[in-house]
Amino acid sequence: MEKLRVLIGRERIAAKVAEMGQRISQDFAGEPVVLIGVLKGATIFLADLARQITLDVSFDFIAVSSYGTAKQQSGEVKLVKDVDRSMEGRNIILVEDILDTGLTLTYIQSMLRAHQPKSLRIAALLDKVSRRTEPIHGDYVGFEIPDEFVVGYGLDFAERYRNLPDICVLESGPESE
Ligand code: IMP
Ligand code: MG
């Protein structure tokens, strides 16, 4: 049975997300933005972040699949669901739960650049800086975390735990690294 340890509690998450929303609101003052959430992990973060942004906001979602086990990615990313509308001339904020190796967001970023948006920024709630293999960084980053597998607040382990209100470290599991 897995054990959960709270790494970042709900109050700290809420305060940080509010701060991120304020920064985005200031940076894009007077302009509309499109939040593009990466399914499914980013949904809870996107829902909270959007309500902290005082601009004209619209949503879109993309889904990718990456091959590998639940905890380890293989490095191959495949588009499963594209955006619904053209992003040409728009201010895009790509919303992701966590930046790990950076492979996922590097792939999505280059795909979205082909739309010729006005601007393209990345908002990631969590950042495992030490795991990065790609030269990519978040423009709005919530928390830098150590190389531990985390769940909750949208993040899953084999589709479980997304509904936990806190971000927790999954200490041991049936499939440990
Ligand atoms: P990257 O492509 O290696 O940056 O991986 C990003 C994706 O890996 C995220 O969208 C998550 O789905 C998943 N991921 C990476 N680290 C964790 C974690 O600690 N818990 C849950 N999912 C994770
Ligand atoms: Mg994800």
Which pLDDT belongs to residue 176?
A: 47
Q: Which of 25, 56, 61, 55 is nearest to 41 (CA)?
A: 61
Q: Which of 26, 164, 3 is nearest to 97 (CA)?
A: 164
Which band of pLDDT confidence, cut at 50, 70 and 90, is reported for residue 175?
low
Ligand 1 centroid–CA 124 distance in Å is 11
Which pLDDT belongs to residue 72?
A: 65
Examine the pLDDT at 139 and tell me if it is beyond 90.
Answer: yes
Ligand 1 centroid–CA 31 distance in Å is 31
Report the 10 Å Cβ neighbour count for 115. 15
- Sheet containing 73-81: which strands, arranged edge to edge? 73-81, 57-68, 33-39, 91-99, 119-127, 140-144
Residue 78 vs residue 58, higher pLDDT? 58
The ligand 1 atom at the shortest distance from the C-alpha of residue 145 is: 19
Examine the pLDDT at 71 and tell me if it is beyond 90.
Answer: no
Q: How far apart are the first and last CA of the chain?
A: 15
User: What domains, with CATH codes, occur in the chain?
Assistant: 11-145 (3.40.50.2020)
Which pLDDT belongs to residue 86?
A: 94
Residue 66 vs residue 9, higher pLDDT? 9
Strands 150-151 and 167-170: antiparallel
Distances (CA, A) of 117 to 32, 96, 113: 12, 18, 7
The reported pTM is: 0.93
Question: Does 127 contact ligand 1 (Cβ within 6 A)?
Answer: no
Which pLDDT belongs to residue 93?
A: 98
Which pLDDT belongs to residue 70?
A: 59
Contact 146, 130 (CB under 8 A): yes
List the residue whose alpha carbon is closest to atom 20 of ligand 1. Answer: 150
Which pLDDT belongs to residue 18?
A: 98
Q: Among 42-46, 65-69, 132-136, which stretch is predicted with the lowest mean pLDDT?
A: 65-69
The ligand 1 atom at the shortest distance from the C-alpha of residue 133 is: 3
Residues noted as catalytic? 100
Task: Please state the rounded mean pLDDT for residues 103-113.
Answer: 94
Name residues with Cβ closer than 5 Å to ligand 2, which is an ion: 41
Ligand 2 centroid–CA 156 distance in Å is 8
List the residue whose alpha carbon is closest to atom 10 of ligand 1. Answer: 98
